[in-house]
Structure 1
Amino acid sequence: MGNDKFIELAGKKLSNEISSDEHDELQRCLANDASLREQYEALSTYWKHNDTAYTDNALSFQKIKSKIKAQEVTEPSTNITPGKKGTIYYLWRAAAAVVLIAGCAYLFYTKTVVSGHEIANTSPSTWQNKNTFVREKSAVVLSDGTRITLNSKSSLRYPTSFTGKTREVYLSGEAFFDVHKDHEHPFIIHTEKMNIKVLGTAFNVKSYPDDPSSETTLIRGAIEVTLDDRPSDRIILKPSEKLIVKKGSFTTVRKKQDKLSPATDSSAGTQYVLTSFTRLHQDDSAVLETSWTQNKLIFRDESFADLAIRMERWYGVNIKFKNDEMKKYRFTGTYEKETVTQALDALRITEDFHYKVKNSAIYIY
């Protein structure tokens, strides 16, 4: 069995999305291959592990491989009990499985996507386009029963009916997907920066052309992501995880503060970070990344510049700053029924700024 097929089966098994035939196939390959059993144990350990502050680049994968080798040949130090050695070893194996879980996974990419986002295996009858404007949301039900909710200023391209081996759609903007299960026909979403293969069901994708980063947030099930310029990398998300893809500079996670900050190395092009999705409060069921589907605009420690972009789509306005320093202000809060002026007045309680409304433009000074 090829490694790409094994990883697909393992992902479906861990997310409880595997069919009986696929389960039997996975058990056969695990029984006959010790190396695959080791990979599966590593991935299973990662799946159950609660620490979601992972980052990745090519250098980090090399470090992980070196760490694994060191764990294999080095005796445990005096301050590590014998029982912990195996735990550390498998956690590093798990990290390696996630960072580059299929070292030669290019096969999956070339089978489903070619350069320029041309579809290789799908033969749709005709294509449909669904577009939303500012302050507008729209729901689409595809021919297979998949339900997609589009956020404002978004565009979805999809076939009238699916006739090939895969079910493929194209997204620009933001959408929430609840994908109909069909183990024989994988569901794939293409965006500007990444391609998402569905191993589970419910997740959010945010990929606006003008935004500096793209995100996908998994609510339940499992998804597998490849990046356009790094097709050999395969990132598998488990529930409650979010993948952030950013061009031009590498971002990392400060675990305690749960913030993103730039790193010193920006030469590697497109990079990504894997973290957990955001709740406004620990005891709050509302998730920031999908709050728009409930007509809520939730933001947590967000810069004024980023919040302004979201407010423009939310209220259908154009926000302009006359002082760039104000773009650095940070806010936390929730909007639901507030008008744009009520929202700005609430922000002014915590930071000192003024605004002026002229037609559909708002000037911050």
Structure 2
Amino acid sequence: MNKETLYKFFEGNTSLKEEEAVKQWLEESEENLQTLFKERKLFDAMLLLGNEKEIRKGKKKFSINLNSLRTELIKIAAVVAITLVGSYFYYESMPDKDLMEMQTISVPAGQRISFTLTDGTNVWLNARTSLTYPVKFGKKNRQVILDGEAYFDVAKDKTKPFVVKTEKYNVEVLGTKFDVDAYSETGEFETTLMSGSVKIASLDDPSEELMLKPDNKVYLQDGKLQVTPVSDYNPYRWKEGLICFKDATFLSIMKDFEKYYGLNILVKNKEVRKFSYTGKFRQTDGIDYALRVLQKDIKFTYQRDDENQIIYIE
């Protein structure tokens, strides 16, 4: 398989004909699948180092040892481009207002990434998510700023609480596993607790706070926090690159596609609103593939306006 075609496939820029050619090539042998994994790791590493364009043009030789990269950054196969932005802020929680170096990681549409913070906390970032954090945590607590969705496996430290700051709420823990969904553009907020305990506190109303127990989630409805039990954890398999649905309405599926792929979907076909769907897709398969699969069970057509990033369901 031509490497240029593989690179286009990793970027999500292949035509339908090229996409089918790649998938057919993968089905031909296990060796082809291993070649894909090898090239993907190389491609990911080049993107992380900012060398991809130069290497593809033959202007640079790629000599990095992949094993020397932080494995946390590439252990999920579908990691693609991330943007690292460094800056300095006064760390507001510290009494001496030390000037601290901050780092921001931004994940593009259709991708995800995992990495480890300096305190040992493991973080997974979903598509179209950014996380700002200090290069080194302060003496009294550990604060990060989230816009989007992230899963945290927090390293325990009784002396320093771990705080996830979102647009409307803070999520505070000592050591636990939880998912926070808080995209600023939607105004929604949701936190699901897998283990341990978390405290949710409003930024606008100090009296509005609650403690969340495992296997429960808190969400925002009509401006108030609501708590409900969680029995199905498949929706949180986005960490594995999967988009999972169970008896989900067509409109809710389209809403998730908007989140994952960074576009608008306008549903003009009223008949599709009657249907629900159970299944899963790989994020890297792309939205065209997902829509074609749905078309096998639900009758609709769609048109893409790539210039304005809109899909019309008709």
Give the TM-score range, shorter chain. Answer: 0.5 to 0.7
**Residue in 2 aligned with 1:188?**
163
Identical positions, percent: 33
Cα displacement string for residues 89-120 of structure 1 (whole angstroms, at most 9, x for unaligned residues): xxxxxxxxxxxxxxxxxxxxxxxxxxxxx833
Kept after mapping to 1: 8 A contact 2:110/2:286: no
**Residue in 1 aligned with 2:266?**
320
Query: Amino acid of the residue matched to residue 161 of structure 2?
Result: P
**Residue in 2 aligned with 1:345?**
292
Unaligned stretches of 5+ residues in structure 2: 1-90
1:119 aligns with 2:66: no
**Measured at CA, do residues 274 and 148 of structure 1 come closer, stay the same or move farther in structure 2, by a change above 3 Å?**
same
**Residue in 2 aligned with 1:276?**
229
Map 1:140-159 to 2 at 5 A.
Answer: 140-159=115-134
Unaligned stretches of 5+ residues in structure 1: 1-117, 250-269, 280-286
3-state secondary structure, aligned to 1:217: strand
Kept after mapping to 2: 8 A contact 1:305/1:328: no
TM-score (norm 1): 0.54
**Measured at CA, do residues 338 and 272 of structure 1 come closer, stay the same or move farther in structure 2, by a change above 3 Å?**
same
3-state secondary structure, aligned to 2:138: coil
Given the alignment, which residue of 149, 168, 175 partners 1:200?
Answer: 175
1:175 aligns with 2:158: no
**Measured at CA, do residues 209 and 124 of structure 1 come closer, stay the same or move farther in structure 2, by a change above 3 Å?**
same
**Residue in 2 aligned with 1:243?**
218
Cα separation, 2, equivalents of 1:158 and 1:324? 44
Cα separation, 2, equivalents of 1:333 and 1:292? 13
**Residue in 2 aligned with 1:21?**
none
TM-score (norm 2): 0.62
Runs of 4+ in 1 over 6 A off after TM superposition: none
1:195 positional shift: 0.6
**Residue in 2 aligned with 1:364?**
313
Query: Amino acid of the residue matched to residue 276 of structure 1?
Result: P
**Residue in 2 aligned with 1:300?**
246
Query: Amino acid of the residue matched to residue 239 of structure 1?
Result: P
Kept after mapping to 1: 8 A contact 2:269/2:300: no
Cα separation, 2, equivalents of 1:179 and 1:324? 44
**Measured at CA, do residues 155 and 338 of structure 1 come closer, stay the same or move farther in structure 2, by a change above 3 Å?**
closer
1:290 positional shift: 1.4
Query: Amino acid of the residue matched to residue 176 of structure 2?
Result: T
3-state secondary structure, aligned to 1:126: strand
RMSD: 2.5
Map 1:76-115 to 2 at 5 A.
Answer: none
Cα separation, 2, equivalents of 1:153 and 1:173? 7
Greater RCO structure (CA 8 Å; 6+ sep)? 1
1:220 aligns with 2:195: yes
Query: Amino acid of the residue matched to residue 92 of structure 2?
Result: I
1:322 positional shift: 2.7
**Measured at CA, do residues 147 and 161 of structure 1 come closer, stay the same or move farther in structure 2, by a change above 3 Å?**
same
Cα separation, 2, equivalents of 1:289 and 1:300? 9
3-state secondary structure, aligned to 1:170: strand
